[in-house]
Amino acid sequence: MSNPSLLILPGDGIGPEVMAEVRKIIDWFGAKRGLAFDVSEDLVGGAAYDAHGKPLHDDTMARALAVDAVLLGAVGGPKYDNLDFSVKPERGLLRLRKEMDLFSNLRPAQCFDALADFSSLKKDVVAGLDIMIVRELTSGVYFGEPRGIFEEGNERVGVNTQRYTESEIARVAKSAFELAMRRGKKLCSMEKANVMESGILWREVVTEVAKDYPEVELSHMYADNGAMQLVRWPKQFDVIVTDNLFGDLLSDCAAMLTGSLGMLPSASLGAPMANGRPKALYEPVHGSAPDIAGQAKANPIACILSFAMALRYSFDQGDEAARLEAAIQQVLADGVRTADLMGPEGGVAVTTSGMGDAIIQALDASL
């Protein structure tokens, strides 16, 4: 049997730097755990624009559809701010999500013990936090039609459309219930049914899907209250399911609970392929961080944890994913710190590659 295939799209800003550390980790699993991957690499975002005049080449799109999983770094940067909307780096990422039909975006917010002091919230509010946000990723206001900037009378009007079909809601709800079954069996659905018809439908469909999961305790919350509850007492949540735009906002908020955006991975999953694996793209939640790009300061952990999610969700290697996560816990407990993680208590300051090397050492020690 051939090795599973991985397409790596480092992208822009700190993307290539953090991805270089992921490559070390992938190589380690090939050499030490007999888990070899066929790895190929390509361009996305501003890097693709510079080479091809568009943020995702059709050939890259075709390759993404053909591989077992895609690993992406980050896209965007000030250099591209004034580009036409249709060729902005972000459009490359949105095209990947849409054409791969990655409707279920898993964004865990987990607080590592060694970093509980890092949150802007009190330690007891975040210590031990482990929640999962499931964000709908291929519909809603990000893609709804009509959209555009139109002339109306003597002024312009900007239009976007929030639109959800029942089947779109049902499939993401189902993926969230499945996840809840494997975790704490609690699911909170967030929308704005008090002001939006799409929210009313969302609530109805989620309630309908819940009938297939009698063991899961389902609750509903208006998304604004949800944002408030996330910072008030986040441990009340296990799994949260919400739409594309609310999920974008709520996941940034949840990410910061954990102390650093540099720690948070994500998985974007679609329907199963012929080989039974879901179509999948893994990426850190952080962006391209142009302010620190090229300075060896970036924290590669979010991207490395994204690979751990790939091991778990695409390759059925939950034990190896846990090994990698434990190695990261160990390194953090040992006080190894990239700049974003350096607090008043100090620690061992390392560069991006220093962090990657420390994780490799901890992996070696795990054998």
Annotated catalytic sites, by residue? 142, 192, 224, 248, 252
Minimal distance, residue 94 CB to ligand IPM, in Å: 6
Residue 93 binding partner per list Mg ion, ligand IPM, none, with a CB distance cut-off of 5 to 8 Å that depends on partner kind: ligand IPM
Minimal distance, residue 155 CB to Mg ion, in Å: 30
Minimal distance, residue 287 CB to Mg ion, in Å: 8
Task: Considering only the stretches 128-136, 139-147, 241-249, 305-313, report the one whose residues sit in contact with Mg ion under the rule CB under 5 A.
Answer: 241-249
Q: Is 93 in the site for ligand IPM (CB under 6 A)?
A: yes
Task: Considering only the stretches 86-94, 147-155, 305-313, 317-325, report the one whose residues sit in contact with ligand IPM under the rule CB under 6 A.
Answer: 86-94
Helix then strand count (H, E) for the chain reads 12, 14
Residue nearest to Mg ion (CB): 248
* Beta bridge partners of residue 217, listed in sequence order: 186
Q: Is 99 in the site for Mg ion (CB under 5 A)?
A: no
DSSP 124-173: HHHTT-EEEEEEE-SSGGGTEEEEEEEEETTEEEEEEE----HHHHHHHH
Minimal distance, residue 307 CB to ligand IPM, in Å: 17
How far apart CA 301 and CA 125 sit, in angstroms, is 23
Smaller CB separation from ligand IPM, 240 or 360: 240
Q: Is 248 in the site for ligand IPM (CB under 6 A)?
A: yes
Task: Considering only the stretches 94-102, 163-171, 246-254, 257-265, report the one whose residues sit in contact with Mg ion under the rule CB under 5 A.
Answer: 246-254
Residues 6+ apart with CB under 8 A from 297: 338, 339, 340, 351, 352
Task: Considering only the stretches 2-10, 89-97, 223-231, 327-335, report the one whose residues sit in contact with ligand IPM under the rule CB under 6 A.
Answer: 89-97
Question: Helix 223-232 and helix 244-257: axis angle, to 10°?
Answer: 10
Smaller CB separation from Mg ion, 142 or 213: 142
Smaller CB separation from ligand IPM, 90 or 320: 90
**Single residue of 27, 90, 117, 334 touching ligand IPM by CB under 6 A:** 90
Q: How far is CA 366 from CA 305, 308, 352, 357, 363, in A?
A: 17, 15, 22, 14, 5
* 8-state DSSP, 84: -
Q: DSSP H helical segments within 258-337, as ranges?
A: 301-313, 318-333
Minimal distance, residue 252 CB to Mg ion, in Å: 5
How far apart CA 252 and CA 232 sit, in angstroms, is 15
Smaller CB separation from ligand IPM, 300 or 356: 300
Residue 200 binding partner per list Mg ion, ligand IPM, none, with a CB distance cut-off of 5 to 8 Å that depends on partner kind: none
Smaller CB separation from ligand IPM, 218 or 302: 302
Residue nearest to ligand IPM (CB): 90
Minimal distance, residue 42 CB to ligand IPM, in Å: 18
- Rounded to the nearest 5 percent, the helix, strand and coil shares of the chain are 45, 20, 30
Minimal distance, residue 249 CB to Mg ion, in Å: 8
Q: Is 217 in the site for ligand IPM (CB under 6 A)?
A: no
> Six-digit token pair at 128?
């031990």
Site for ligand IPM in 149-208 (CB under 6 A): none
Q: Give the sheet arrangement for strand 278-284, strand by strand.
A: 38-41, 5-11, 69-74, 278-284, 265-272, 104-110, 130-136, 239-242, 186-191, 217-222
Q: Is 99 in the site for ligand IPM (CB under 6 A)?
A: no
For residues 301 and 294, the answer to whether their CB atoms sit within 8 Å is no
* 8-state DSSP, 69: E
Closest alpha carbon to 273 in 262, 281, 265: 281
Cβ-count burial of 59 within 10 angstroms (0-12 exposed, 13-18 middle, 19+ buried)? Answer: exposed
**Single residue of 99, 248, 320, 334 touching Mg ion by CB under 5 A:** 248
Which residues sit at the interface with Mg ion, rule CB under 5 A? 248
Which residues sit at the interface with ligand IPM, rule CB under 6 A? 90, 93-94, 248
